[in-house]
Chain A
């Protein structure tokens, strides 16, 4: 199968349309399985009681927020290197979902932290890095929203995305350093209780579910973006013709 065939918006559009239901189905199945494990299989934690169950969304959301940012950077790099419109659109399609997961990670982190450590927000290294990641997402989206010319917006956002992705390890390192120096204590939201295997499985399945969801949403968003961008082309005009 020649993958380059799908590098064109006109061929990618129908392909994406066909793929979306599959990813939605996978997402639903995995979410059901994951939630089942989260609530009905995973045992009560010795130290944290039932409150710890939040990790089954907090950790997958955090993983996804970082994963999506990296995938965005991948598409940004491809777009800048080969000047392929679709690559830029994929990066744009992923951004809001990535930002959403980042927000969820922060919110669930706060709701986990409050009962466990008494504060809604702790300047834990991971949470603080997550907050900065949210700023990075917002920055890319704000930049693209501020530029009228779509081509310039694509490329500027892609460039900013790449700068961000290079910086993320540095930021994480500096925040970790900052955190150990200032806190010293063992308050760490990610120092999970000695993990029973089933807990790890629960998180992995939820993470997979989140991934399937992200792909489905990104494909749908990409399709809308394609319609918008390619509105002058024959195939889009034909499409608008036939459907009510």
Chain B
């Protein structure tokens, strides 16, 4: 283990802003992509269902 305390962990030896800024943005991007993906899939599904409902076939 490298850290004596949680505070030391968050502080990252003074580099906290940078380390968490980097990891944070990465997390944001991944969460963002997954969210967008789910939304896209849901929208596609709903749109196709609607199109099928209107289809005279």
Contact = CB atoms under 8 A, between A and B. Distances in A.
Q: Do chains A and B touch in the complex (CB under 8 A)?
A: yes
Interface of A: 39-40, 42-44, 49-51, 53-54, 57-58, 61, 96-97, 100, 103-104, 107-108, 111-112, 114-115, 213, 217, 220-221, 223-224, 227-228, 231, 236-237, 240-241
B51 A43 contact: no
A103 B29 contact: yes
Interface of B: 1-3, 9, 12-15, 18-19, 21-23, 25-26, 29-30, 33-34, 37, 40-41, 44-45, 48-49, 51-52
Contacts of A115: 15, 18
Given A57-B23, A104-B25, A108-B22, A220 B2 contact: no
A236 B41 contact: no
Q: What are the 7 A-B residue pairs with the smallest beta carbon separation, nearest first?
A: A51-B15, A50-B13, A111-B22, A50-B12, A108-B22, A54-B22, A224-B41
Interface of A is mostly: helix
A153 B30 CA distance: 27
